[in-house]
Amino acid sequence: MSLLELIAAADARGLAASGTACLDRCLPQPAAGAEPDPLRPLWAGCADPRDWADRLAEARAALDGLSDPQEGAQETVLRIRTLLAEAPAERAGEELRTWADACSVLALDIHCGHDAVGADATELVGRCRAGDPEGAGPLLSGEATRQVRILELLAETGDAAPAGGGLRQVRDVSTEGRRVLRAAVSRRARARG
């Protein structure tokens, strides 16, 4: 199934966790002494829908409290803050699906921006979401594959899974993706010197 189809078929837990994972992967390297994982509270809200609104508020506060990120990362943090502000207070319904879809687009767009590909980013992101990664750079195609894998993992466990069921694997996949993106950003910064 394509990424678009997986998002359309995902349950509320899958949407919450996939959206959170997308934002989590895009967080830039924290400044010295800053909170290393400002979205950690939101992961708890993915496990239990009753905690979603409170954990969302905590994650917003943690992200707002971040000191200035590395140079060039301000726009990324602003985009993540904007999406957190738009997240629905209830972990249910079509608003959650719209939010998770926007998180997917953001993550793909950020990864595409760090690829050295001269093609139209909007077109590439759209094609990757539809299941056609031809012409995409390694960061973008890797992120599209990662999003599909995460949604498949979440679909395997389903919304009826025990609290936290499958979320550990999703976090592991997401953490590895964050390392890949941060390494690529660091390499580019060194090359610009």
* Cβ pair 104, 3 in contact under 8 A: yes
**What pLDDT does residue 67 have?**
65
End-to-end CA distance of the chain: 41
Please give the average pLDDT of every successive group of 10 residues along the chain, which has 193 residues: 96 96 91 80 92 96 75 82 95 96 97 80 92 92 96 82 74 94 86 71
Range of the domain at 53: 3-192
What pTM value is reported for the model?
A: 0.92
The SS3 assignment for 187 reads: helix
**What pLDDT does residue 121 have?**
86
**Residue 80: which residues within 8 A CB-CB, separation 6 or more?**
23, 26, 27, 63, 106
**CA pair distance 137, 173, nearest whole angstrom:** 19
**What pLDDT does residue 71 have?**
60
* Cβ pair 83, 23 in contact under 8 A: yes
Domain count, the chain: 1
**What pLDDT does residue 191 have?**
77
**CA pair distance 156, 113, nearest whole angstrom:** 31
**What pLDDT does residue 69 have?**
57
